[in-house]
């Protein structure tokens, strides 16, 4: 495993996109949340901006910010790390020089797991740091109240990256894969959910689409929206954490399995 990880690292650490995406994530994750200090008037139900930075709610708000960053930076990264191999013919070269297709695929899989773990570690560090310096009195039961966001954050990263990995192997072209990635997450799934469920079938099955399940791992922390949705439709606006985690895990495994099937059958 370490050999395959090291091989993938040597391919990517000089890549400009990898360096930029990593730098943007590391800087923007705490920076976006901290801009809330400059906002004095917040819309209901937020009465004060302190809720963004104190324990235990900092886990929720930083997780929501991180969800957008992981969707964009790490989803794109997983596409680029595959499509660049097709463009530069390095996939063929790796297999000619001794890697099996399985080993080649595992190097990609291990790397997205490593990136997801590193992104989650940075999220934990930022949450602790921001919460510690902005919470007047530290109570450890409050600090850990929403610590379930840590594994949820990891699964969220894996969900976006496994989807990007699948599209990269399926389409092989960076531009087309990125366009479909953005289009499906931003528009196509929403249109499908609206057309099928809001117009025809109004039940909880609308929440079990892959990207919605991933988003519900770190949802927008505004309970009033959820309560209004319950009153209008009779079911929750979000999946429960367990439902979102199980659904995301299942879809991630499907994306990874499908990507492996594609590479086993594709021409080099």
pLDDT per position as a tens digit, 143-182? 888 889 999 999 999 999 999 999 999 999 999 999 999 9
- Which has the minimum average pLDDT: 84-88, 107-111, 114-118? 84-88
- 111 pLDDT band (50/70/90 cuts)? very high
pLDDT at 44 over 80: no
The secondary structure element, H or E, covering residue 259 is helix 241-265
- Which has the minimum average pLDDT: 20-29, 87-96, 99-108, 153-162? 87-96
Q: What percent of the chain lies above the pLDDT cut of 90? A: 56
pLDDT at 225 over 50: no
pLDDT at 57 over 80: yes
Instruction: Report the number of distinct structural domains present in the chain.
Output: 1
pLDDT per position as a tens digit, 232-251? 555 566 788 899 999 999 99
- 224 pLDDT band (50/70/90 cuts)? very low
User: What is the structure's pLDDT at 120?
Assistant: 97
- State the pTM of this model: 0.91
Select from 208, 203, 219, 218 the least CA-distant residue to 246. 208
- 92 pLDDT band (50/70/90 cuts)? confident
Dihedral angle sign, alpha carbons of residues 44, 46, 49, 53: negative
- 90 pLDDT band (50/70/90 cuts)? confident
- Which pairs from 113-119 meet CB under 8 Å and 24+ separation? 113/158, 114/5, 115/74, 115/77, 115/157, 115/161, 116/74, 116/154, 116/157, 116/158, 116/161, 117/154, 119/25, 119/66, 119/70, 119/74, 119/153, 119/154, 119/157
- Which pairs from 167-173 meet CB under 8 Å and 24+ separation? 167/79, 168/78, 168/79, 168/80, 168/81, 168/82, 168/83, 168/259, 169/82, 169/259, 169/262, 169/263, 169/266, 170/258, 170/259, 170/262, 171/83, 172/82, 172/83, 172/86, 173/83, 173/86
Q: What residue numbers bound the domain in which 150 lies? A: 2-265
Mean pLDDT in residue range 249-260: 96
């Amino acid at each position: 495993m370490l050999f395959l990880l090291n091989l993938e690292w040597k391919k990517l650490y000089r890549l400009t996109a990898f360096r930029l995406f990593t730098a943007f994530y590391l800087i923007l994750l705490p920076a976006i949340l901290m801009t809330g200090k400059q906002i004095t008037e917040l819309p209901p139900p937020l009465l004060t901006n302190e809720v963004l930075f104190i324990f235990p709610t900092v886990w929720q708000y930083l997780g929501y910010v991180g969800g957008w960053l992981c969707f964009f930076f790490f989803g794109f990264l997983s596409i680029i790390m595959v499509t660049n191999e097709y463009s530069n013919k390095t996939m063929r070269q790796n297999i000619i020089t001794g890697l099996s297709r399985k080993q080649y695929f595992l190097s990609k899989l291990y790397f997205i797991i490593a990136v997801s773990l590193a992104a989650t570690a940075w999220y934990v560090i930022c949450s602790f740091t921001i919460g510690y310096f902005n919470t007047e009195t530290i109570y450890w039961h409050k600090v850990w109240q929403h610590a379930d966001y840590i594994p949820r954050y990891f699964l969220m990263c894996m969900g976006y990256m496994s989807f990007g990995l699948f599209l990269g192997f399926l389409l092989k072209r960076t531009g087309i894969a990125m366009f479909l990635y953005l289009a499906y997450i931003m528009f196509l799934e929403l249109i499908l959910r609206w057309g099928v469920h809001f117009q025809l079938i109004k039940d909880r099955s609308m929440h079990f689409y892959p990207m919605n399940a991933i988003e519900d791992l770190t949802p927008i922390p505004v309970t009033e929206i959820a309560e209004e949705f319950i009153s209008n439709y009779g079911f929750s606006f979000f999946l429960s954490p367990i439902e979102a985690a199980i659904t995301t895990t299942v879809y991630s495994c499907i994306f990874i399995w499908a990507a492996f099937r594609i590479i086993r059958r594709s021409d080099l």
